[in-house]
Amino acid sequence: MTQLVNNAAGNLAGASEDFSLNAWRAVTGIVLDGTWICSTEFARRRIADGRGGAILNIGATYSWTGGPGTAHSAAAKAGVTNLTQSLAVEWAPDGIRVNCIAPGRFPHDDLP
């Protein structure tokens, strides 16, 4: 089965009130637009070939909770979650599964 993993991420450290429109657009463009562009191209090819496939989008837990300095990234990842749900329903008849996972933080203090 042909698969696609969308693992786009972007974040600019800083206070939300200090983000420029360009900073906002850069992060949301990478995360949300990038996921949509890759997903739709994948689906176009799979639908044209009459074959299904699977898409896995990588979300983020802070898209539900928010956090300081993450407004742009959290908003984009929340969009990825909703995009996943919409595409899953739309492309199911074409045999394309679309899922999203949101890995949590990984401890790293004790890594060598």
Q: Would you call 62 a catalytic residue per the annotation?
A: yes
Instruction: Judge whether 45 and 87 are in contact, CB under 8 Å.
Output: no
Catalytic residue, candidates 27, 32, 39, 62: 62
Label each residue of the chain as H, E or C: CCEEEECCCCCCCCCHHHCCHHHHHHHHHHHHHHHHHHHHHHHHHHHHHCCCEEEEEECCCHHHHCCCCCHHHHHHHHHHHHHHHHHHHHHHHHCEEEEEECCCCCCCCCCC
Hey, which residues are catalytic here? 62
